[in-house]
Amino acid sequence: MTLVKTQIGRRAFIKNTSLAGGGLVLGFSFFNACKPKEAEALAVELEMPKEWFEINGYLKIGDNGVVTIMSPNPEIGQNVRTSMPMIVADELEIDWSNVVVEQAPLNTNLYSWQVAGGSRSISSSWQNLRMAGATARQMLKEAAAQAWQVPVGEITAKAGVLTHEVTGKTAGYGEMASAASQMEVPEEIELKETSEFSIIGTSRKNVDGKKITTGKPLYGIDVQREGMLIAGLVHPPAFGKRLKSFDAEAAKQMPGIRDVFSIKLYDEDFDKMAFHFTAFNEVVVVVGESTWQVFQAKKAINIEWEDAPEATQHLTLFGNKMEMKHPAGMENSEQHTDKLKKMMSGKGNVARRDGNPEEAFEKAAKIIERSYSCPFLAHNTMEPMNFFANVTEDHAELLGPTQTPEWMEPAVAERLGLPLEKVDIQMTRQGGGFGRRLYGHFMVEVAAISQRMKAPVKLMYTREDDMSQGIYRPSYYATYRAAFDAENNLIGFHVKAGGVPESPLFANRFPAGAIDNYLAEDFTVDTNITTGAFRAPRSNFIAGAEQSFLDEVAEELGKDPIDFRLELLKRAQENPVGDATANDYDAARYAGVLELVREKSNWGQDQPGVHRGVSAYFCHQSYVAQVLDIVMENNEPVVQKVTSAIDCGIVVNPDAATNMAEGGVVDGIGHAMYSGLTFNNGTPDQQNFDRYRLIRNREAPKAIETHFVQNTIDPTGMGEPPFPPIMGALANALYKASGRRYYHQPFITDRVFKG
């Protein structure tokens, strides 16, 4: 046991605050749409208690010993709704089969970091979740000690049962729940040793599995309310355009249509957070009785658009002021490429410089230089953007899929003219996130629409709306150079990377610190196309580029690609170049995943016809190495197998983490190989899945093996890290299979494959 003070997040553990802001009001969810009996039967197959006793903001215990655990974070498919409550349950010492999980609403009094972003759900709440369970366990013990008049230290808690061995007394948690709920919150509690975990580290099935497989309402799009109207919106057809005027007379006459109007999202002077970002501040709105009627009416509005002037957006990101310049005009992908190339040939901003890279390249006997690029991507969550709002004169209720409820709440409150405490936000399960739902402009949109209509409203984007009004993954471009001396030693390394509108460079990541003469530079190109975070931002390109280039360097040196990386990591660990504290990776853990993947993939034991590529990357505090095997069939590459080795510290729910790792591999292969969003006159060429290609079942690897490094380090990121490196492993294996290097994503457009 480890003693810890309960101060972190202590507010959450003090009983009465939890009710502030509608914290734990049961039944206040869209299951109201179901018959109560049905809803209950669906929620759990457990017998429900007659009475619940709230122990703290994370959990309540029923008189029959059933425990409800709140899952605070948005569930976008990363499994937090299962894995976060597992952490609470483990410290509480309760059988997982006696646990009911509920989605917590946004409550900044109770919870911290209610965000699905940065792969931080588990790591940022790890301590709080453990304390929530451990605090309750301690309060139950104290209740039993009082009831039995024995010292609390003699009471043990195991699997929902309190025991006093000396007297032989036992009681279920349910029996002590009422008394425990009256106990003072302990000043100090004991956390389990990692060796004592009984739920953490064991695979538990998705708590929503049954509802998902039987089609029960779970997602934002499934929300239904009495008197609810449907809203759709029409945005400018191109970036660089804005609304001039519209004529909606015909649309208003269509059956079921209640109103057509335009809304402005934000006032010019609104102090925007980066996540308030939106592509189009003014849109035309159609409100009607049913989705199909609204979708049809959208097409019947005559709208005149005009050119938008150049603009500068002032945004705040975690306290830092940012300025984004949006030039006027309609942009093309070809122009972006030209501008990136022009910037590449100019002077970049030096982000890190070790030794004397200029001299190293000057005296080099040989230099290799390679350039890499990738297009914009749309997130394409399978559930398009949507949200529900019911705004009355003095209150706003919002319900739906968002990755950032806390950060959107001020924007909604500001737009409605309501104080923050009058805005309640609840989260549904979400049909994917990938970063798109970090930008919750649709919440402000639906709130403004509901306020105007004085009715509950669900805003629905079509797939085309979703894909053509994105907050896209930027387009990136990077050039790598390596200098070799006459004895073929690597003596210099230069990376220069830029993008539209941000650079993908991480100057202090590997191989920084491992090469004597190192130069990292970056640059940016302004755009009026909205971009933002996409699963593993920036890493999702630079990892593949860097790992492909290192493969070429290893080949140039005549070294095995894993041995070569391990040599560099050894150097970074034992005798780092430059400021060692600046390196944001742990060379030993980095090497650890490479060694593990070497072992598990039987690296070095070549099989005829199997072409292998390796890659390893660090991001979101985790380390992932992957080996990808290709066989050629009819001149087409078939990914036969991927072996992943992952170090993300303690793995809370191994099978769910494995699922995520498999998904990351498929997602990474898919985007590197097939996907891209291009622009012509400010309009995306791809607006639905007929032209936007996503990886499909037949294109996924035939097998994926996932191995985790076993350690007792507190959990680090898991949702994003398996995604970026696979792109490098794919490119490297394609080279082995086809004899050709792949530099430009999506690889499928680069050439015809030949074995």
Residues at the contact surface with other proteins, assessed by CB under 8 A = 33, 76-79, 203, 205-206, 208-210, 212-219, 221-222, 224, 230, 255, 290-293, 295-296, 380-384, 429-434, 460, 462-464, 655-656, 659-660, 662-667, 670, 688-690, 694-698, 700-701, 703-704
Q: DSSP per residue over 14-25, as a string? A: SGGGGGGGGTT-
Q: How far is the CB of 747 from other proteins (least distance, A)?
A: 17
Cα–Cα distance, 30 to 36 (Å, whole number): 11
Distance CA 45, CA 119 (A): 32
Cα–Cα distance for residue pair 442/460, rounded to 1 Å: 9
> What is the closest distance, in whole angstroms, from the C-beta atom of residue 590 to other proteins in the complex?
25
Q: Which of 216, 236, 220, 240 is nearest to 228 (CA)?
A: 220
Closer to other proteins at the Cβ: 291 or 337? Answer: 291
How far is it between the farthest Cα atoms of the chain? 84
Q: How far is the CB of 527 from other proteins (least distance, A)?
A: 25
CA distances (Å), origin 347, targets 492, 629, 669: 19, 39, 33
Helix (H) or strand (E) holding 479: strand 475-484
Contact predicate 747/676, CB 8 Å: no
CB closer to other proteins, 635 vs 689: 689
Closest C-alpha among 93, 107, 97 to residue 58: 107
- Looking at the DSSP bridge assignments, the partners of residue 262 are 284
- Nearest approach, Cβ of residue 290 and other proteins (Å): 5
Q: Choose between 297 and 413: whose C-beta lies nearer to other proteins.
A: 297
Sheet hosting strand 349-354, strand order edge to edge = 349-354, 518-524, 490-500, 475-484, 366-374
SS3 of 448-469: HHHHHHCCCEEEECCHHHHHHC
Closest distance between other proteins and the C-beta of residue 216, in Å? 7
Which residues neighbour 736 within 8 Å (Cβ) at sequence distance 6 or greater?
A: 611, 612, 613, 630
Helix (H, G, I), strand (E, B) or coil at 349: strand
532/670 with CB nearer other proteins? 670
Q: How far is the CB of 222 from other proteins (least distance, A)?
A: 4
Minimum gap (Å) between residue 377 Cβ and other proteins: 12
Give 11 or 211: the residue with its C-beta nearer to other proteins. 211
Nearest approach in angstroms of CB 629 to other proteins is 15
Task: Say how far apart CA 724 and CA 542 lie, in whole Å.
Answer: 8
Of 301 and 695, CB closest to other proteins: 695
Between residues 296 and 626, which has the closer beta carbon with respect to other proteins? 296
- Closest CB 202 distance from other proteins, rounded Å: 13
* Bridge partners, 169 (sequence order): 164
**CB 230 to other proteins: min, Å:** 8
Nearest Cα to Cα of residue 157 among 67, 69, 90 = 90
For residues 358 and 91, give the distance between their C-alpha atoms in angstroms, rounded to a whole number: 56
CB closer to other proteins, 20 vs 228: 228
Give the residue with the Cβ less far from other proteins, 587 or 733. Answer: 733
Cβ closer to other proteins: 402 or 462?
Answer: 462
